[in-house]
């Protein structure tokens, strides 16, 4: 099939950036979206142009590296999938496709479709863990965990940290991402001792970054490749509120 692509090109973080248009002939419908870009890039290189930089690694939807906005939708229109799992059979001959990077102040563009998502790492460092020193754990079967509890935690643990939630949110909120980690660890019995301290520290770290706040648009949930529920945000708010009023202390030492 024949396609017209409008792709965001930006040399580096300082560059202003603009769309460039590329015409593609003979795109095979069994290709993945990234393979379609690979083929275009091979062509650009041969012609002496710079290839389009985009992030990707596992190409099986789990590493969270890839992601950009396709026709206004983070990861494209296929529900519950990353860009690498999107195949060209979902497009039609003659389609025009606009491709742009995640747009969020907290994710500055580094080059073309590559953005800096280190803000996510900083939030997780603030408290996205259960402190369990290597070698200190009791036997794994010491605490039975009901399957429903476990599966509930796993629903949130699946987050791949791709950033689509932020990119799709009109406020560029990171709350689905933060809520997912707080819910994953806060649902499990192992996560209870640090539960409220964790919520407090992570929310504070999130507020130190350039993310907005949730106003219930739910676009994050709609584009999430792992279809993570916004109920994680409710859990985050609940744990955070409880932490504020239960005197667990401010992890960062800040007073409010």
**Distance of closest approach, residue 71 Cβ to other proteins, in angstroms:** 19
Residue 53 C-beta: closest distance to other proteins, Å: 6
Determine the interface stretch with other proteins among 1-9, 131-139, 168-176, 233-241 (rule: CB under 8 A): 131-139
Query: 3-class SS at 140?
Result: coil
Choice between 57 and 96, CB closer to other proteins: 57
Q: Is 153 in the site for other proteins (CB under 8 A)?
A: yes
Q: CA-to-CA distance for 33 and 115, rounded, in angstroms?
A: 19
Is there binding between residue 35 and other proteins (CB under 8 A)?
A: yes
**198 binds other proteins per the rule CB under 8 A:** no
Q: Is 140 in the site for other proteins (CB under 8 A)?
A: yes
Can residue 31 be called a binding residue for other proteins (CB under 8 A)? yes
State the number of CA atoms in the 13 A half-sphere of 115 facing the CB: 25
As a whole number of Å, the end-to-end CA separation of the chain is 59
From CA 135, how far away is CA 73, in angstroms rounded? 45
Type and span of the H or E element at 69 = strand 69-70
Name the strand (E) or helix (H) holding 197. Answer: helix 195-208
- Nearest distance from residue 44's CB to other proteins, in Å? 8
Binding other proteins (rule: CB under 8 A), the pick from 20, 32, 71, 98 is: 32
3-class state of residue 59 by DSSP: coil
CB of 143 to other proteins, least distance (A): 8
Which residue's CB is nearer to other proteins, number 36 or number 173?
A: 36
C-alpha angle 29-32-37 in degrees, rounded to nearest 5: 100
Examine residue 93 and tell whether it contacts other proteins (CB under 8 A).
no
């Amino acid at each position: 099939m024949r396609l017209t692509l409008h792709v965001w090109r930006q040399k580096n973080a300082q560059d202003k950036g603009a769309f460039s248009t590329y015409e593609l002939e003979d795109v095979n419908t069994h290709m993945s979206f990234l393979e379609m870009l690979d083929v275009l890039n091979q062509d650009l290189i041969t012609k002496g142009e710079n290839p389009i930089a985009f992030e990707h690694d596992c190409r099986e939807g789990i590493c969270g590296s890839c992601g950009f906005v396709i026709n206004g939708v983070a990861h494209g229109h296929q529900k519950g999938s990353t860009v690498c799992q999107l195949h060209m059979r979902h497009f039609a001959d003659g389609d025009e496709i606009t491709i742009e990077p995640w747009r969020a102040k907290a994710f500055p563009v580094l080059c073309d479709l590559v953005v800096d998502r280190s803000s996510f790492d900083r939030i997780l460092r603030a408290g996205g863990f259960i402190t369990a020193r290597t070698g200190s754990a009791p036997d794994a079967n010491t605490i039975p965990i009901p399957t429903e509890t476990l599966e509930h935690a796993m629903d949130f643990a699946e987050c791949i940290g791709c950033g689509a939630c932020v990119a799709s949110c009109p406020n560029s909120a990171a709350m689905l991402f933060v809520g997912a980690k707080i819910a994953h660890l806060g649902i499990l019995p192992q996560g209870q001792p640090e539960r409220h301290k964790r919520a407090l520290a992570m929310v504070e770290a999130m507020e130190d970054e350039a993310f907005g706040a949730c106003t219930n648009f739910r676009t994050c949930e709609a584009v999430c490749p792992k279809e993570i529920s916004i109920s994680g945000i409710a859990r985050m708010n609940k744990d955070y509120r409880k932490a504020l009023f239960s005197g667990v202390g401010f992890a960062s030492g800040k007073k409010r």
